[in-house]
């Protein structure tokens, strides 16, 4: 069986982590995650980690924000230590960021933000490297879910 590489979008990560205010589909996404083949890989771009952290920090209650932040830190540390099926991607190369910035005005005009644009760039790179594997963006956003 070909292992699939799932690039995890913020819309999915906040649901899986049950971030208050962003968790209306938590149970559904958790179920979806548990039925995915164990051999699947889950890449979490740093931009998605940063964006998730921002969503947590903008919650309405300080106690809830603190609790969510601690859970997020635990998740991220386990991922960094290789004790999770989620693998944070390394920092992008400067040339990649420069290319994203060059294309960003056109992308922004189409309503595609810089984080989403960077996920699409990561998807393109992974597909070029992993020609014999399925690479998808796991997202609740239609424009990103179409990649794969």
Asked if 10 contacts 52 with a C-beta cutoff of 8 angstroms, the reply is yes
pLDDT in tens, 72-119: 999 999 999 999 999 999 888 899 899 999 999 999 999 999 999 999
Question: How much is the pLDDT for 9?
Answer: 98
Count the domains in the chain: 1
Q: Which tens digits make up the pLDDT trace of 3-26?
A: 899 999 999 999 999 999 999 999
As given in the structure block, the two tokens for residue 94 are 């400067």
The pTM of the full predicted model, rounded to 2 decimals, is 0.93
Predicted confidence band at 39 (pLDDT cuts at 50, 70, 90)? Answer: confident
Q: Where residue 75 sits, what CATH number does that domain have?
A: 3.40.50.1010
DSSP conformation letters of 80-111: HTT-SSEEEPPPPPHHHHHHHHHHHHHHHHTT
Domain of 140 in residue numbering reads as 5-145
* Other Cβ atoms closer than 10 A to 28: 11
For residues 56-60, average pLDDT: 93
């Amino acid at each position: 069986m070909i292992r699939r590489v799932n690039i995890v979008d913020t819309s999915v990560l906040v649901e899986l982590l049950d971030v208050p205010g962003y968790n209306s589909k938590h149970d559904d996404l958790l179920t979806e995650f548990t039925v995915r083949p164990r051999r699947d890989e889950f890449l979490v771009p740093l931009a998605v980690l940063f964006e998730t952290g921002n969503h947590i920090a903008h919650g309405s209650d300080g106690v809830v924000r603190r609790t969510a932040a601690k859970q997020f830190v635990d998740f991220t540390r386990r991922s960094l230590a290789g004790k999770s099926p989620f693998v944070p991607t390394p920092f992008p190369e400067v040339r990649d960021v420069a290319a994203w910035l060059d294309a960003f005005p056109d992308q922004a005009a189409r309503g595609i933000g810089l984080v989403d644009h960077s996920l699409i760039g990561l998807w393109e790179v992974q597909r070029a490297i992993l020609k014999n594997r399925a690479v998808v963006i796991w997202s609740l956003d239609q424009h990103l879910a179409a990649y794969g």
